[in-house]
């Protein structure tokens, strides 16, 4: 079985919903098993979580976009990963990323770009969404990849929405397809 680990931080629950959609997509792929690692409010994960990441074939990073980048809790996790980085323990693992914020753009691209840079420091192999955007006149807000991410999966939850209200089903379906893409590639390349 190819193992997929989704490591994410969620501040209010919206990104958690997105992470669960990525999980559902990954877990639904034949030959793949998937699990989540939730970074806590202090930016920490447990010792066994580090072991789970070390054992994974693919690691998917997730965080809301706060003030133009990943939440500090995600960054604290990233900084703590200097230990596996030092021995390049994650080298050649597959990587991907997703983010949620209140605004359509709102610098979500900056968060995804950080994830890519971070993955490259770990010598990982980066996959994007593999999804064409929905961008014709007939497009509607709830379409697959309407928000329009190539490098990673994007979701929008209005600033005053509860996690029950956002992200919308279309953004969650986008996340699910993204999870399936990562898992599918992990299965294919595991040999």
Using the rule CB under 8 A, is 113 a contact of its own copies? yes
CB of 172 to its own copies, least distance (A): 16
Using the rule CB under 8 A, is 116 a contact of its own copies? yes
Using the rule CB under 8 A, is 148 a contact of its own copies? yes
Written as one string, the DSSP assignment of 148-190 is --SSSEEEE--TT--TTT-S-HHHHHHHHHHHHHHHHHHHHHH
Q: Which of 25, 62, 149, 179 binds its own copies (CB under 8 A)?
A: 149
Using the contact rule CB under 8 A, the part of the chain among 2-10, 21-29, 48-56, 155-163 near its own copies is: 155-163
The whole-angstrom separation of Cα 4 and Cα 57 is 6
Strand partners for 116: none
Using the contact rule CB under 8 A, the part of the chain among 2-10, 49-57, 146-154, 167-175 near its own copies is: 146-154
Using the contact rule CB under 8 A, the part of the chain among 18-26, 45-53, 80-88, 171-179 near its own copies is: 80-88
Closest C-alpha among 191, 81, 97, 189 to residue 151? 97
Q: Are 182 and 189 in contact (CB under 8 A)?
A: no
Contact positions with its own copies (CB under 8 A) in 21-60: 43
Q: Are 56 and 2 in contact (CB under 8 A)?
A: no
118's tokens: 């971070």
The whole-angstrom separation of Cα 186 and Cα 174 is 19
Interacting residues with its own copies (CB under 8 A): 43, 66-73, 75-76, 78-79, 81-82, 85, 88, 91-92, 102-110, 113-114, 116-118, 120-121, 123, 125-130, 132-133, 135-137, 139, 146-151, 154, 156, 158-161, 165, 185, 188-189, 191
């Amino acid at each position: 079985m190819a193992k997929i680990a989704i490591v994410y931080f969620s501040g209010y629950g919206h990104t958690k919903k997105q992470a669960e959609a990525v999980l559902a997509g990954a877990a639904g792929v034949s030959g793949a098993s998937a699990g989540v690692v939730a970074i806590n409010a202090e930016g920490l994960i447990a010792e066994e979580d580090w072991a789970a990441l070390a054992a994974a074939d693919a690691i998917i990073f997730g965080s809301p976009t706060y003030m133009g980048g990943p939440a500090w809790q995600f960054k604290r996790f990233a900084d703590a990963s200097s230990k596996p980085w030092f021995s390049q323990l994650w080298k050649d693992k597959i990587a991907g990323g997703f983010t949620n914020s209140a605004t359509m753009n709102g610098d979500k691209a900056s968060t995804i770009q950080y994830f890519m840079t971070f993955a490259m420091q770990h010598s990982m192999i980066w996959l994007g969404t593999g999804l064409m955007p929905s961008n014709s006149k007939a497009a509607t807000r709830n379409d697959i990849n309407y928000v329009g991410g190539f490098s990673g999966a994007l979701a929008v939850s209005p600033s005053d929405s509860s996690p029950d209200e956002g992200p919308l089903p279309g953004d969650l379906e986008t996340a699910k397809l993204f999870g399936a893409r990562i898992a599918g590639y992990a299965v294919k390349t595991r040999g």
